[in-house]
Each structure stands twice: as structure tokens, then as C-alpha cells.
Amino acid sequence: MTSEESRPESPPLLAGRRVALVGRLASMAKRDAATLLRGHGAMVAEKPGPTVDLLVIGEEGLPLPEGLGLDDAFDADTQEAIQRGATEVITETELWQRLGLVDLQQDVHRLYTPAMLAELLGVPLAIVRRWHRRGLIVPAREVRRLAYFDFQEVATARRLAELLAAGTSPEAIEKKLETLGRYLPGIKRPLAQLSVIVEGKQILLRRGDGLIEPGGQQRFDFEAAPGRPGTGDGVASHSRLSVGDLDDILLTTAEPKETAEGAASPEELVGLAVELEESGQTEAAAEAYRAAMAAGGPRAELCFQVAELLYRIGDLAGARERYYMAIELDEDYVEARANLGCVLAETGQTDLAVAAFAGALAYHPDYADAHYHLARTLDRLDRRAEAAPHWEAFLQLAPDSPWAEEARGRLDGATQHGSVDESG
């Protein structure tokens, strides 16, 4: 028996099926999702209705909360179709899993690196790294120290970014989530694990027909009560808390504890460096990391952190040397290789930048960011024939990246130029 005979054939999952997208999607714009679904043979309906075969509930914002029912989101005919099984309702996550876009092997395709996530959300890369360090977002996998986040973590990061955009400091966000965690000790990540509403500067937890403030005080959500008019995509409106109801407590710079010998330990100095970095004292943070390495010896991850800080304050030469040092200590550190390439390119050392990006890809061939930066650098050197395979690899690895449109434009431009002299 052949392997094909032993495996039943699976018909296209969406061929000929009418699909409606309800609510805001976490992973991509609805327009892009509709295009993707049509590519899988689906017919995309503009709105829910009794003739729709599949209703997909978006996970950005508030999905249909448990216990609320479908009556607040769909009309009576649609509800009846759902109840008799003519219309199936699934979440956005389930849809992408069925289509193989989120696979069980955690492929790096359609995952986001920290740099991609920062670009997508319009927040500093340092903020994304802070969320990662604090456990607010958790990578789906790590390859040679490089974190990859799936679209479920993108949804969590979007909520964090919304709070930042509303003027809430990173420290205040963490304080509010910490307060929710004390109220619900079994929950480590409220934004990812619970039905949480983010509106303006507020974080509210839905429990049944009520909303819970971070301090544990419960309020009845009149708009979510049974019998109330629907709210479009299932997102209930509610009254706002005053900003003063939640404490925006900034982290204070703590002095490192002293050991019995009277000197701070390397790990205490690292802790101090983290606090200084997160309170915006970039230069002092770099000095604390240096002190930690002076006390406990150089470490690749600490060299990388110093390089990142030096880059942020404009010390490109210092950043370059620290990235080099991180690679010397750990040759597998692919993000350090790629970031070194970016610094080299920025300082005009483009040939060395090409070598750095190529080195990153030698250790991690599926590193989309490295393909992107290498392709850009090769284009700058007018080596378009060499750049094209890296633009193509980038699009294959990260088709939904915020840089994907640029990559498509570069490839289109290369095609319009016609054949390129292979000698470069």
C-alpha cells in the first residue's frame, strides 16, 4: 500500500462555502483575510446571515463572551441556522489552524519576530522586548535566541499597544495587570487568558454580566445584559472608569542589595540595569549592565542588551563593538548578527553588512528579518539579481509582515527593469 493510499484525501476545506467574518481580526485586516479565504475557494459574505455556511469570530477586541449567547450579535434567522447546524461558528484561531496557517509544529511561517511586531504595532522595539521580558507576551518558539510570536500573541500585544497609545505608561499597564493577577491568583496573563476589555486607559475583566475593575470591585454591565440591543460585532459598550480609579505607579530606581561582602552581585546589577532601562535611564542602564559583566564576566545576552541601549542613544560605534562581542561569545546569536548588519549598513559599511546578514542566515536560514535586510542592502549596492531571491524568501516566510508590501514592490521593480547583469 502506498503512502497516498493509506491516507484519505481531504477535499478543500472552504471550496464553495460562504464565509462571513465577524468582529475585528487579530491577525490581519479583514480585506486581506477575505483575499486569503477566496484563495482557498471560499465565497466571502459581507455580513452574517442565514445563508452563510461559516461564521468566523475575530479575536481582536472582545469575542463573543461565554454565557452571553448569540442573540446579541445575530438576527433570529441566523440564530436558527446556527442552532440547526446549517451555519458553523468558529473562532479566528480555529480558522487559521484549519487552513494550516498556525501549525502544530510551530513553523516560523506567519510568526512575528520582535522587530516585525514593533513595526506592526508602531511601538519601539524596546517596548516589545520589555513585554517579552515581563512575560506579557510569550513566544511560540525561539530559534537561536530569536523569539517568534504567533498571531494570538499579536492580539495581546495589540491590547498593550492600545493602552500605550491612550497615554498609559508601561509601568502603569504592568501595575494594573499585576493587580488583576492578585485578584485572580491562578491567572498569570490576564490579557491572553481572560475576557478582558481594553478601552482607553482602562482594563476591565468580564465575568458573566458584570465587569470587574483591577482592584476587584464588580460593576454590572447593563449593555451586556440579556435583552439589550445588539452591539454589532458582539463588543459590549460600557461606562468608563475615571483615570483616578487606577493607580499609575511608576517603577522607582532601587539600589541593588549588597551581599555579605558589601558588593552587589552580578544578578542584582542586572536587575538594577533592567529597572533603569525601563524607567528611561538608558545610559545608566548600559553602565549597570557593564558593571554586571565586570563583576560576573561577559555574557552574550548582556552584551546584546548593551548594544541595543547604545544604539538607542546614537552610539553606533559602541553598539557595533558590543554586537561583535555578543557573537564572539555565542556564534549562534542570530539576532545579534542581524542587528550588527543593520548598524554596519547604517554606517556605510555595506559589504560588511552583507556578510553579517549572510552569517545570520547561515545559522538560521528561515530568519525572515535577515532576508529582508540583506535584500535591501544588496539593492543599495545595485546587486538586484542577488537581492531578488531574498525578497522572495522573505515573502514566503513572512507574507503578512508589515514589510511585505515593500518586498512586493521591490520584486515588481526588479521585474520591470528586466534582466539584471549577473555580475552585479
What pLDDT, in 10s, does the model give residues 292-331? 999 899 999 999 999 999 999 999 999 999 999 999 999 9
Least confident of 103-112, 224-233, 359-368, 373-382: 224-233
Consecutive H or E run containing 376: helix 368-380
Q: Is residue 150 scored above 50 in pLDDT?
A: yes
Range among 72-86, 250-264, 342-356 rated most confident: 342-356
Q: Tell which residue, 122, 100, 123, has the closest CA to residue 110.
A: 100
Beta bridge partners of 202: 199
Mean pLDDT, residues 276-286 taken together: 89
Per-residue pLDDT at 63: 45
Grid cell listed for 59:
479575536
Q: Is residue 219 scored above 80 in pLDDT?
A: no
Least confident of 16-20, 157-161, 166-170, 243-247: 243-247
Q: Which has more confidence, 244 or 212? A: 212
Per-residue pLDDT at 391: 95
Q: Tell which residue, 116, 115, 92, 114, has the closest CA to residue 102.
A: 92
Per-residue pLDDT at 22: 84
Per-residue pLDDT at 186: 54
Is 356 in contact with 332 (CB distance < 8 Å)? no
Least confident of 60-64, 134-138, 200-204, 413-417: 60-64
Q: Is residue 18 scored above 60 in pLDDT?
A: yes
Which structural domains are found in the chain, ordered by start? Answer: 16-98 (3.40.50.10190), 114-229 (1.10.1660), 307-415 (1.25.40.10)
Is 337 in contact with 356 (CB distance < 8 Å)? yes
Give the separation between CA 120 and CA 26, rounded to whole angstroms.
12
Q: Which has more confidence, 138 or 317? A: 317
Kindly give, in sequence order, each residue whose CB lies less than 8 Å from that of residue 29, ignoring residues fewer than 6 positions away. Answer: none
When the pLDDT of each residue in the chain is averaged and rounded to a whole number, the result is 74
Mean pLDDT, residues 68-89 taken together: 76
Per-residue pLDDT at 9: 41
Per-residue pLDDT at 201: 53
Per-residue pLDDT at 27: 62
pLDDT band at 155 (very low <50, low <70, confident <90, very high): confident
Per-residue pLDDT at 265: 86
* Phi-psi sector, 165: left (phi>0), alpha (psi -120 to 50), beta: alpha
DSSP string, 204-262: EEEETTEEE-TTS-EEE-GGGSTTSPP-TTT----PPPPGGGS--PPPP-PPPPP-TTS
* Exposure b/e, 229-268, CB count within 10 A at least 16 = b: eeeebbbbebeebeeeebeeeebeeeebeeeeeeebbbeb
Grid cell listed for 383:
546587486
* pTM (predicted TM-score): 0.56
Per-residue pLDDT at 110: 66
Per-residue pLDDT at 57: 78
Range among 78-82, 121-125, 247-251 rated most confident: 121-125
Q: Which has more confidence, 330 or 198? A: 330
Grid cell listed for 351:
559589504
Give the separation between CA 206 and CA 212, rounded to whole angstroms.
6
Q: Is residue 424 scored above 60 in pLDDT?
A: no
How many Å separate Cα 397 from the centre of its chain? Answer: 15
pLDDT band at 348 (very low <50, low <70, confident <90, very high): very high
For 224-273, the pLDDT digits (tens) are: 433 333 333 333 333 222 222 222 322 223 344 444 455 678 888 998 99
Cα three-residue angle 44-404-395, rounded to 5 degrees? 90
Per-residue pLDDT at 184: 54
Q: Is residue 195 scored above 80 in pLDDT?
A: no
Distances (CA, A) of 269 to 225, 292, 293, 295, 296: 52, 5, 9, 9, 10
Stated length of the chain: 424
Q: Is residue 2 scored above 90 in pLDDT?
A: no
